[in-house]
Amino acid sequence: MKQKSNIVWHHASVTRDRRERLNDHHSAVIWFTGLSGSGKSTLSHAVEEKLFQMKCRTYVLDGDNIRHGLCADLGFSDNDRKENIRRIGETAKLFVDAGVVTLTAFISPFRSDRLVARQLFDVGDFIEVYCRCPLEICESRDVKGMYRRARAGEIQNFTGISSPYEEPVSPELIVDTGSLSLAQCVDEIIGFLRESGVIISLEGVR
């Protein structure tokens, strides 16, 4: 999509760096990906709760919630899925610029779309977390009955059944949500955020 020639980016005096120093931590997007039922939403909100308790500025962009508003006009065709992820990537970029640790919980089934989202960010700002969980376990957790309906042909283009899911090739972190407890998964992610310097205190460098 080409920008119009009469549109110029406005550079604000309040920068991301100043916001991060005020928040006392860095910002980044934690991009949870995985099959429906793999635990993306549950895990992202649990990680947010932990970060909130640590006094971090956070926000979760949840797949279902976003489709109630920003992406309410989109379906589940391949093209609509691509547009859904494009919009989320651009939204997450704004949140990161605002100094917020942003967690996104979307199936985002296609590697090419996740790559497009990654390329919006500087190196280190995009943390892809693959919620690895076998399909049979995801189906056994089918709280919403989506897999059952997909198997019955009532839902078209359902990831893992009638539409493919492309596993990440080299995500920053793989969390085995099919075998680990929620607490263990949260600890793994918080540990990674500490090691990568996202939630290191910036109090001494204001």
- Torsion sign, CA atoms 137, 143, 147, 152: positive
Between CA 44 and CA 30 the distance in angstroms is 9
Give the Å distances, CA to CA, from 143 to 20, 148, 177. Answer: 38, 10, 16
Could you say which of 36, 38, 108, 163 is catalytic? 108
Active-site annotation holds for 108: yes
CA atoms within 13 A on the CB side of 66: 24
φ/ψ of residue 23, rounded to 5: -75, -20
- Just list the catalytic residues: 108
